[in-house]
Amino acid sequence: MLFSSIPFLYYFLPLVLITYFAAPKKLKNAVLFVYSLVFYAWGEPVYVFLMAASILSAWGLALLMDRAKTQKARKILMIISVIISFSFLAYFKYADFFISNFNAATGLSVPLLKIALPVGISFYTFQIASYTIDVYRGNTKANKNILDFGTYVVLFPQLIAGPIVRYVDIADMLKNRTHTLSKTAYGIQRFCLGLGKKVLLANTFGELCSIFRESNEKTVLFYWMYAAAFMLQIYFDFSGYSDMAIGLGRIFGFTFLENFDFPYVSKSITEFWRRWHMSLGSWFRDYVYIPLGGNRVKTPRFLFNIFVVWFLTGFWHGADWQFIAWGIFYGIMLVIEKMWLKKYLDKAPAALCHVYTLFFTAIGFVIFNSVSIGGAFEDLKGMFGLAGIPLAGTATLYYLKSYAFMFIIGSLLATPVVKNVLKKVNSTEIGGKIIAFAKPLGFAAVLITVTGYLADGSFNPFLYFRF
């Protein structure tokens, strides 16, 4: 089920809110658990059993780990649990990738499995793995209550598109959390903000990307418009989803960590990755990069560590070579920055650093959104005028004119400018009063407009559902 859908907003959400707030404290997790399973089963009825198997195995093995007497036994149990979790991911997400590459390498024709990807499997696998590893490391105790642990894994606000919530961050909240007017009001506003980002902005930029893909007219300018539109689409799509998750979590008493921090204002690729999908970046840092030795090793080993992490980051996003290329691309960029470019960037004018970062981010996302490695090269050739295409054409100019204001709005909202202006206005007495009155009405207007978009049955895919 999508957050940005009529069934969620006007059927599921009212029901879960009524039941949750009517339930006594000790039953609140049970309510969330049951509703989260319904939420998941709505899109993936059969995969609920896979989810149950993942929960049971991780929960049981963590309990055994707690009771194990030797460190070696604990380690074996941790490895078994991680292998089980990642086996599911490998089978359902990556089997066909391995088979098709095996076929290509050997000339054989092993049939593809063609299994539908369980929604959110990449997210909940990482959550389960973080729990298992943290129990092994002694960062947290194993949860003896299957319902509480199950609630952590299937909690619908962050189940299918993150942020990747670590057990240690919400372990206390699973047992004991408070519900206040301020949390609920903040949650509502954050949810509406995310909903607006997703439906009003991301989907509209997504339409332009689809128009570009379907158009017979390919021009240099249209390629760049597509690159810019996709950058804005993926940002508003994913950060919008994170806002909705954080907002819903807050309504139910949970505080999830932030996942985005205006990444497009970054002045380097290194900074960009500190602001983009922060929960994934920190997961790889804590569970892969640092265990491998991080940067406190000799240069060849450091390079190896970086490339392992960025290979895996790319591969996590999709079982295809263009995702791996995208990850490696960032690995290369980060190494270049760390070993050579950083000293120049530190001294360069801020505007130049922004242009540099946006340029390489655009290149990265064009690779990311291509259909294949070959497709990525075609797109890049188109962007740089190497495909023998004109600079502009009728359709290009029409869509440039049509989307001009959207690009301005999108670019502004992708920076903290509006947020900072509102903050400044809010700090004055009159401004504060106006904002206090207007803010709820503004969010109501967003909800009404979003409902209009949804009732019209418009274009509404979530990009991060495929991960």
Partner 1 sequence: MKKKTEYIYTIIVAAVLIFGLSIFAVLKPADDFSESERRPLEKLPELSVKTLLSGDFMDKFENYTNDQFPLRDTFRSVKALARYYLFGLSDNNELYFADGHVAKLDFPINQESLDYAASRFNELYETYMKDKVNKIVFSVVPDKNAYLGEKNGYPQMDYDYMIGFFEEKLPFANHVEIFDLIDESDYYLTDTHWQQQEITDVAEKILVSLEARPFEDFEEKVATENFYGVYYGQSALPLKPEKIVYLTTPELEHMTVLNYETGLKGGIYNFDKLEGKDPYEFYLSGAVPLLEVTNSSAEGDRHLIIFRDSFGSSLAPLLMRDYSKITIIDTRYLLPNFIGEYVDFEGADVLMTYSTLILNDSFILKK
Which residues are marked as active site? 317
CB of 25 to partner 1, least distance (A): 20
Q: Which is nearer to partner 1, 86 or 407 (CB)?
A: 407
Which one of 71, 405, 429, 430 is in contact with partner 1 (CB under 8 A)? 405
Q: Is residue 423 close enough to count as binding partner 1 by CB under 8 A?
A: no
Q: Is residue 4 close enough to count as binding partner 1 by CB under 8 A?
A: no
From the list 7-15, 104-112, 160-168, 227-235, the region that binds partner 1 by CB under 8 A is 7-15
Q: Is residue 312 close enough to count as binding partner 1 by CB under 8 A?
A: no
Which one of 16, 61, 165, 188 is in contact with partner 1 (CB under 8 A)? 188
Q: What mask, x for binding partner 1 by CB under 8 A, covers residues 438 to 457?
A: -xxx-xx--xxx-xxxxxxx
Q: How far apart are CA 29 and CA 32, in angstroms?
A: 5
Q: How far apart are CA 260 and CA 323, in angstroms?
A: 20
Q: Is residue 45 close enough to count as binding partner 1 by CB under 8 A?
A: yes
Q: Which is nearer to partner 1, 129 or 229 (CB)?
A: 229
Residues binding partner 1: number (CB under 8 A)? 54
The conformation of residue 385, written as its DSSP 8-state character, comes to T
Question: How would DSSP label each residue in 292-347?
Answer: TTTTSS-HHHHHHHHHHHHHHHHHHH-SSHHHHHHHHHHHHHHHHIIIIIHHHHHH
Q: What angle do helix axes 220-251 and 350-368 make, rounded to 10 degrees?
A: 90
Q: Is residue 6 close enough to count as binding partner 1 by CB under 8 A?
A: yes
Q: Is residue 58 close enough to count as binding partner 1 by CB under 8 A?
A: no
Cis peptide leading into 349, omega within 30 of 0?
Answer: no
CB of 212 to partner 1, least distance (A): 14
Question: How would DSSP label each residue in 435-466?
Answer: HHHHHHHHHHHHHHHHHHHHHTT-----GGGG
Q: What percent of the residues of the chain are helix, what percent strand, and what percent coil, each to the nearest 5? A: 75, 0, 25
CB of 336 to partner 1, least distance (A): 38
Which residues are CB-neighbours of 277 under 8 A, at least 6 positions away?
162, 163, 238, 259, 260
Element (H, E) at 37: helix 28-43
The answer to whether 255 touches 178, Cβ cutoff 8 Å, is no
Q: Is residue 430 close enough to count as binding partner 1 by CB under 8 A?
A: no
As given in the structure block, the two tokens for residue 275 are 């602001």
From the list 307-315, 339-347, 371-379, 393-401, the region that binds partner 1 by CB under 8 A is 393-401
CB of 381 to partner 1, least distance (A): 22
Q: What angle do helix axes 28-43 and 13-22 make, rounded to 10 degrees?
A: 160
CB of 189 to partner 1, least distance (A): 7
Which residues are CB-neighbours of 54 under 8 A, at least 6 positions away?
84, 85, 88, 124, 125, 128, 153
CB of 123 to partner 1, least distance (A): 20
CB of 151 to partner 1, least distance (A): 23
Which one of 335, 375, 395, 466 is in contact with partner 1 (CB under 8 A)? 395
From the list 52-60, 87-95, 178-186, 377-385, the region that binds partner 1 by CB under 8 A is 178-186
Q: How far apart are CA 56 and CA 60, in angstroms?
A: 6
Of residues 198 through 217, those in contact with partner 1 by CB under 8 A are 200, 204, 216-217
Q: Which residues bind partner 1 (CB under 8 A)?
A: 1, 5-7, 9-11, 13-14, 42-46, 181-182, 184-185, 188-189, 192, 200, 204, 216-217, 394-395, 398, 401-406, 409, 433, 436-437, 439-441, 443-444, 447-449, 451-458
